[in-house]
Amino acid sequence: PLVLGIETSCDETGVGIVAGRELLADEVASSMDQHARFGGVVPEVASRAHLEAMVPVLDGAFAKAGVRPSDIDAVAVTAGPGLAGALMVGVAAAKAYAYALGKPLYGVNHLAAHVAVDQLEHGPLPAPCVALLVSGGHSSLLLVPDVTGEMTSLGSTIDDAAGEAYDKVARVLGMPFPGGPPIDRAAKEGAADAIRFPRAKLHDGTLDFSFAGLKTAVARWVEARGDAGEPVPVADVAASFQEAVADVLTRKAVSACREHGVTDLVIGGGVAANSRLRALAAERCASAGIRLRVPRPGLCTDNGAMVAALGASIVAAGRPPSSLALPADSSLPVTEVLVP
């Protein structure tokens, strides 16, 4: 099916168009520049930016894909989780298109879309698989019998998300928001074993994570350096912090596969763009006999293609569409893939 996907859960206005698992267009406008000086996304500013960007990004996606709106078979949109006002802009736009074109509307889960997007690159997701979802607001291990309808949580962070830890540590190191990309770059010049930062919950026997203590440990270490009047070795701190995050995430992901007898792991969400996480996951999956799938970095951060990809799978699975009265749900649980 030819599916239009609309994403507005945070600061990216994303519109994707897919034909089944073939990606035809993936247009994204970000309002990050307007949030950067606040050190985080300002909800009101994000909503306004979505309003301004929505029609141009939609037009751009149709032009790129070379299809007309009337060619579309279905409209998929992120119904949650995310910022309420931001979500509402995308949901309203999707309803308008679906209603005007007389096509079915599918309100989908942003987190499931972060997992489903891999299908655009590597084909249908093996069933079942384990998904490591690591983003700005979430860090979870999921058992995925079927990405179009069934995902159960095996464990998740008890405090900060992995991306949140990157963003907070970046601030401590004087780097811009969002912190993932600058830390990833700085870490390439540093030594991952320079500082031994704590790996919380590594041997606690659960599949949960905790990153708040790590963030605090980095802040204290940097502060102590400052107090001693010594320069902060930014690259070493970045590399050592990144190693701690990647170490815990990959060990627990492999444990999740082992415990549930699953041989396929997929990683999704903005932090899946991280070069060290990708390399360490590849290494550890290879030695554990687990097949690993990670989408290219551009598809890991928020975009409309991931929503279209999940929408296309849902249409293909024959699930009933959402109501045109579809609500935006800022705290939609990861287990609810499709909102009725």
- Rule CB under 6 A: say whether 252 interacts with ligand ATP: no
**Rg of the chain (C-alpha set):** 20
- Rule CB under 5 A: say whether 135 interacts with Fe ion: yes
Q: Find the part of the chain contacting ligand ATP (CB under 6 A) among 67-75, 248-256, 270-278, 307-315.
A: 270-278
Considering only residues 27, 118, 167, 264, which one is a binding residue for ligand ATP as defined by CB under 6 A?
A: 167
Q: Which does 179 bind (CB under 5 to 8 A by kind): ligand ATP, Mg ion, Fe ion, none?
A: ligand ATP
CB closer to ligand ATP out of 82 and 295: 82
Closest CA to 271 of 156, 139, 83, 153: 139
Query: What DSSP line would sit under 28-51, residue for residue?
Result: EEE-HHHHGGGTS--HHHHHHHHH
Q: Is 32 exposed, middle or buried (0-12, 13-18, 19+ CB in 10 A)?
A: middle
Pairing state between β 150-156 and 105-109: unpaired
- Rule CB under 5 A: say whether 302 interacts with Fe ion: yes
* CA triple 18-151-248, angle to 5 deg: 100
Q: Which amino acid is at 4?
A: L
- Residue 303 annotated in ligand binding: no
- Please report how close the Cβ of residue 333 comes to ligand ATP at its closest, in angstroms: 13
- Rule CB under 6 A: say whether 273 interacts with ligand ATP: yes
What is the rounded CA–CA span in Å between residue 34 and residue 213?
30
- Rule CB under 6 A: say whether 118 interacts with ligand ATP: no
- Rule CB under 6 A: say whether 214 interacts with ligand ATP: no
- Residue 26 annotated in ligand binding: no
- Rule CB under 5 A: say whether 118 interacts with Fe ion: no
CB closer to Mg ion out of 12 and 118: 12
Considering only residues 148, 274, 313, 322, which one is a binding residue for ligand ATP as defined by CB under 6 A?
A: 274
What is the rounded CA–CA span in Å between residue 110 and residue 91?
12
Annotated binding site: 110, 114, 133-137, 167, 180, 184, 274, 302
